[in-house]
Structure 1
Amino acid sequence: MSKSDITALLPEQVKLLCFDTPELLTDALAQHISQSLSDAVRSRGAAAIALSGGRTPLPLFKRLSQSPLPWSSISVTLADDRWLATDQADSNAGLIQSHLLQHQAQQARFFGLWQADKSAHDAEADCAQRLASLPAELDLVVLGMGNDGHTASLFPCAEELEHALETDEPCAAVTPTSAPHVRMTLSAKRLLASRERILHLKGADKLETLQQALLDDDIRIMPIRLFLRQPLTIYWSP
């Protein structure tokens, strides 16, 4: 699978940026996010970004934490999270708190999804109320992608997928059968209510998954296809 093969399949509204190393990707993406958030604060007085968790974006989080941005005017939330306490290793909120909300970025306003006293399904309404404090349109959404074509926690194996894809609510509880932990995910509608969407990928396997996603259009088999139908910038490195 070559980058040129992928580029030939991309729809007009999708842009693929390839970098020789993860470090070069981190530099470029951190610079772009920093500029976008700064511009939003300058234009509108505030900015809001939704980030994805996992291990791939940790260097990005560390880099952003050192950026001299107007963090007190920036809100941060998650595209999705596992329904775990923040001190658990698989908690995306925990990763955000320990890798991003440090140094310069300590002043950011963080809107986590997890709640200690309820199941994910029971917490949907409270989570929606919490997310209502964010602007109706996010400035940036940074997504990842699994090799099954899921993004955020829009898993093709989950019974709740159709609800998460179609609901007008900002979030949905999801129980994947192919991955551990119940999740809370921003709904498709909430993720698409954003000025810009970025897909952050690492590894040759992700190019193979991307190719598979581009060869068909069934969103329920590979939910990432929904976002490939919209304006999207893909940042990829080996």
Structure 2
Amino acid sequence: MIELHAFDDPRAQAAALAKAVSDALAASLAQADAASRATLAVSGGTSPRAFLQVLGSEQLDWPRVDVTLVDDRWVPEIDAASNARLVRETLFDPAQAARSARFLPLVDVASALNAHVAALNANPTHALPDVAVLGMGEDGHTASLFADAPEWPHITAETCERFVAVHPGSAPHPRVSFSLAALKRVPHLFLLIAGSRKRDVLEAATAASQDNAISKLANDRGVRLDVYWSAN
């Protein structure tokens, strides 16, 4: 099920999504004992920067929060394409309240990609998120679940593993990503998009089953996806 939250102003969109994510994390923490933690997975790219900056100032029990990524490119963290770099520059800025959270990156280029993904799946610290914020490309991919990747059948249908390695045909860099099966199990799932083109892609993907990740996610009756869309 999709719930659309529409905004004319991207600043209002960022503020509303930050409040919703903060509330979802607070609810997850409240349901657990004092020793338990909550996990937030966020996306990279350019779209989430304003949202992450606002979220970082939210007053939350950040020392009990683990922050990870929905996906990341297999590049060093100093690379401009690194999603981990974006998170450190926004949520973990020294001026932010969120700086006291624990960051769990997905990439370690000192390792081999497949071996690293296997280690992530075996590591209970890299838990299924309580809250995840997705992005979406104009081809309908979300996370790094690209339909043109050779791993497509595995990452969308066959695997129950949390993490998968992906080699997109239409985008640079190998990737580490949560699998579709993992995303479907996230209790609080948000999608951050902007512009008429992406809204059209989402509406088409929802109206009829398509061979892309956002359509597979949106048409799963067990999934609730809160979409925060800005016209600009």
Instruction: With the length of structure 1 as denominator, give the TM-score of the two structures.
Output: 0.89
Residue of 170, 181, 184 corresponding to 2:176: 184
Q: Distance between the aligned counterparts of 2:176 and 2:86, measured in 1?
A: 16
1:83 aligns with 2:74: yes
Letter aligned with residue 151 of structure 1: T
Q: Does the 8 A contact of 2:180 with 2:213 survive in 1?
A: no
Q: Distance between the aligned counterparts of 2:122 and 2:104, measured in 1?
A: 11
How much has 1:60 moved relative to structure 2? 0.8
3-state secondary structure, aligned to 1:68: coil
How much has 1:18 moved relative to structure 2? 0.3
Cα deviation per residue 1:48-85 (whole Å; 9 max; x = unaligned)? 11111111000111111112211110011111000011
Tell me which residue corresponds to 2:15: 27
3-state secondary structure, aligned to 1:197: strand
Give the 5 Å matches for 1:11-90: 13-44=1-32, 45=34, 46-90=37-81
1:145 aligns with 2:128: no
Q: Distance between the aligned counterparts of 1:50 and 1:68, measured in 2?
A: 18
How much has 1:116 moved relative to structure 2? 2.4
Letter aligned with residue 29 of structure 1: L
Gaps of 5+ in 2: none
Gaps of 5+ in 1: 1-12
Q: Does the 8 A contact of 2:120 with 2:126 survive in 1?
A: no
Identify which range, 99-108 or 18-27, moves more after superposition.
Answer: 99-108
Count of residues paired in the alignment: 222
Tell me which residue corresponds to 1:156: 147
Instruction: With the length of structure 2 as denominator, give the TM-score of the two structures.
Output: 0.91
Tell me which residue corresponds to 2:198: 206
3-state secondary structure, aligned to 1:41: helix
Tell me which residue corresponds to 2:213: 223
Letter aligned with residue 109 of structure 2: A
How much has 1:134 moved relative to structure 2? 4.1
Root-mean-square deviation (Å)? 1.4
Q: Distance between the aligned counterparts of 2:207 and 2:187, measured in 1?
A: 26
* Dislocated runs of 4+, deviation >6 Å: none
1:105 aligns with 2:98: yes
Q: Distance between the aligned counterparts of 1:203 and 1:90, measured in 2?
A: 22
3-state secondary structure, aligned to 1:226: helix
3-state secondary structure, aligned to 2:115: coil
